[in-house]
């Protein structure tokens, strides 16, 4: 009888030890599904940066005929990553949810013609401005729209979640006269709508719209009036001060040694970097 009791106690103790080990392993597993983020472990040196972008925003970041991500901001980011000895990954995101993607640590930076605005400064940190931009009005060549006043009673299109929406909202005395303001997922879609007559004017970033205008000479024209000037910057989380410092240092060095000018001339034919 004592022998059977001893055996039973041995089995019981073994089971408890195995259960304890299993419980410890489960509690210590930080990589649960859906929990992954870009933040390195405490004390670890960051080896990779994940950059969120709208992959239809030519010439800043878009896909070429081979499906490769290319563009001015893509080249700038690659050069910065090289100088910081970091790997870089580009992640297409829903532009309307870009701040959420950043602050939930699914990406480390927003780098894709991101306009610095008062509202965005409340949510995220920015690098120094690296490029100036305007919000222009594009119409079909031959259109009777010559000024912003001519937009009264017209259907106007722009990109959802873009600074163009903010620029339009800043002039309610103008937008209040529109027949309708329609928003789309990207500027390619908006220009297509303009081409087939579903909208009568497009408001958007000058650097982007003029890139597409040059691809179809004679099809579109930009009127003289615009909805204001703005500046582009790279967006980061507010608590990522170390990464911001490294980024700005690399950008300043690229400006000083002429690398940013070289990249700018490749995409715009001139140096337009601030």
Q: Distance between alpha carbon 225 and the CA centroid of its chain, in Å?
A: 27
Q: Distance between alpha carbon 218 and the CA centroid of its chain, in Å?
A: 30
Residue 43 within any structural domain of the chain: no
Find the mean pLDDT for residues 217-222.
Answer: 95
Encoding tokens for residue 15? 């089971």
Same domain, 68 and 98: yes
Q: Cis check for the bond before 59: say yes or no (omega within 30 of 0).
A: yes
Q: Are 139 and 200 in contact (CB under 8 A)?
A: yes
Percent of the chain surpassing pLDDT 70: 84
Q: Are 163 and 207 in contact (CB under 8 A)?
A: no
Residue 82 within any structural domain of the chain: yes
Encoding tokens for residue 25? 């392993």
Determine whether 255 is exposed, middle or buried from the number of CB atoms within 10 Å of its CB (0-12, 13-18, 19+): middle
Encoding tokens for residue 152? 């009264």
Mean pLDDT for the chain? 87
Residue 89 within any structural domain of the chain: yes
Q: What is the CATH number of the domain that holds 185?
A: 3.40.190.10
Same domain, 111 and 162: no
Same domain, 208 and 238: no
Greatest extent of the chain over all pairs of C-alpha atoms, in Å: 105
Tens of pLDDT along 45-85?
679 999 999 999 999 999 999 999 999 999 999 999 999 99
Tell me the C-alpha distance between 221 and 210, whole Å: 9
Tell me the C-alpha distance between 150 and 148, whole Å: 5
- Residue 17 pLDDT > 80: no
Percent of the chain surpassing pLDDT 90: 80
Find the mean pLDDT for residues 120-127.
Answer: 96
Using pLDDT thresholds of 50, 70 and 90, give the confidence band for residue 21.
Answer: very low
Torsion on CA atoms 13, 18, 24, 27, rounded to nearest 10: -120
Return the H-helix or E-strand segment holding 268. helix 259-268
Residue 245 within any structural domain of the chain: yes
As for how many domains the chain has, the answer is 2
Residue 21 within any structural domain of the chain: no
**Domain extent for 162:** 133-231
Residue 197 within any structural domain of the chain: yes
Strand partners of residue 138: 202, 222
Q: Which of 179, 224, 219, 185 is nearest to 199 (CA)?
A: 179
CB atoms within 10 A of CB 51: 24
Cβ within 8 Å of residue 266, ≥6 positions away: 72, 75
CB atoms within 10 A of CB 194: 22
Same domain, 112 and 138: no
Same domain, 141 and 211: yes
Tens of pLDDT along 137-155?
999 999 999 999 999 999 9
């Amino acid at each position: 009888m004592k022998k059977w009791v001893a055996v039973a106690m041995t089995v019981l103790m073994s089971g408890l030890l195995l259960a304890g080990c299993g419980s410890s392993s489960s509690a210590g597993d930080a990589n649960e599904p859906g929990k992954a983020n870009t933040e390195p472990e405490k004390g670890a040196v960051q080896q990779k940066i994940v950059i969120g972008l709208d992959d239809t925003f030519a010439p800043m970041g878009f896909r070429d005929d081979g499906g490769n991500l290319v563009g001015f901001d893509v080249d700038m980011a690659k050069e910065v990553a090289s100088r910081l000895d970091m790997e870089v990954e580009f992640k297409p995101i829903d532009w309307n949810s870009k701040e959420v993607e950043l602050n939930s640590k699914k990406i480390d930076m927003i780098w894709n013609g991101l306009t610095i605005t008062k509202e965005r400064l409340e949510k995220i940190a920015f690098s120094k401005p690296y490029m100036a931009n305007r919000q222009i009005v594009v119409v079909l060549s031959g259109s009777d729209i010559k000024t912003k006043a001519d937009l009264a009673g017209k259907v106007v299109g722009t990109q959802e979640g873009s600074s163009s929406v903010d620029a339009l909202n800043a002039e309610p005395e103008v937008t209040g006269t529109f027949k309708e303001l329609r928003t789309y997922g990207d500027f390619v879609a908006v220009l297509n709508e303009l081409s087939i007559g579903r909208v009568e004017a497009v408001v958007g970033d000058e650097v982007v719209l003029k890139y597409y205008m040059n691809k179809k000479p004679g099809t579109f024209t930009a009127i003289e009036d615009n909805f204001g000037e703005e500046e582009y910057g790279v967006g980061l989380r507010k608590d990522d001060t170390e990464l911001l410092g490294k980024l700005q240092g690399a950008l300043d060095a690229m400006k000083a040694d002429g690398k940013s000018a070289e990249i700018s001339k490749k995409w715009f034919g001139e140096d337009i970097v601030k």
